[in-house]
Structure 1
């Protein structure tokens, strides 16, 4: 397969898994059919729209290619109707989100590199592509966005985008190399969840409440 075909397949797969992730989160919040599909579409297409606008690919593929919106909407609707068969929705959401994170990290970084964005900028675009959909999903369902918590999320996307940039620099950005990069982000995210890895947070010291006695 050519690189463009691999990108298209990975992009649509990422759209499907993020749509399923967003729809599963919406089902867990007991939204109606429209709400589930809307959240699924936002989760699936938000990051890609940001990516295309930044690299000046207008209109974004989400609007120019019907397959993107159709894939997102159909997947979200399928989750709405089939959710009784999806046991343990929270686990399902986390696994699908990890898969979407890996797919969108790789496609976002590679598309930025193909648009001649320097490696550092391409990595930033890859990260923002990966976290954009999940950010929209969490905000719409009333959750603190995963990217703002202590969990290893954006850092996993950053590691994956750096790997893609290195593969591209050494001429290894073919199908097998991209699959390895996707799997790397996916596994890193799930292992971080399993082992409860987290980024450091600032330690807040309680204010001093004692008062000085009168001077003698």
Structure 2
């Protein structure tokens, strides 16, 4: 009895939810019709619930796949940005290393220049002065020998060139005299010095 009473109260609540409330004083025929209408309404509502559940699941699947696709895209883009920033940072570090090396080289160069200035300011020793004199004499002797040899070569070249010019002049004179049937010595080519 308790179970049937519980069943009746749940049917009453379901009918009340659907808007078809049977009064407790109604007959059994009205309760049977109401239960049949309740069953059909429940079937319809089950179909609607199933359809909406399928739609919700399908929408969730589409939304989930879109979410994961967008998340993968965002991860790949962030990875690319991280790699680019790493390459930029490595370039910055390379530039910084090169600048540091350049600064160190400049400092060493300045130190060497200061040492050279200090060495030039120191007085020369006797051996260094005699060594410099010997070097100067050697360079002077070498220069005089070189100029003497070069002047001798120039004079020899000039003599050879004069001889060639005289040979060429005599050949041209002979050819002109033979072509125009002139006597020997009648045609002569004058040089600039002779003019």
Q: TM-score range by the shorter chain?
A: under 0.3
Q: Which has the higher contact order (CA 8 A, sep 6+)?
A: 1
TM-score of the superposed pair, with normalisation by structure 2: 0.19
With the length of structure 1 as denominator, give the TM-score of the two structures: 0.18
Structure possessing the higher radius of gyration over alpha carbons: 2
- Higher share in helix: 2
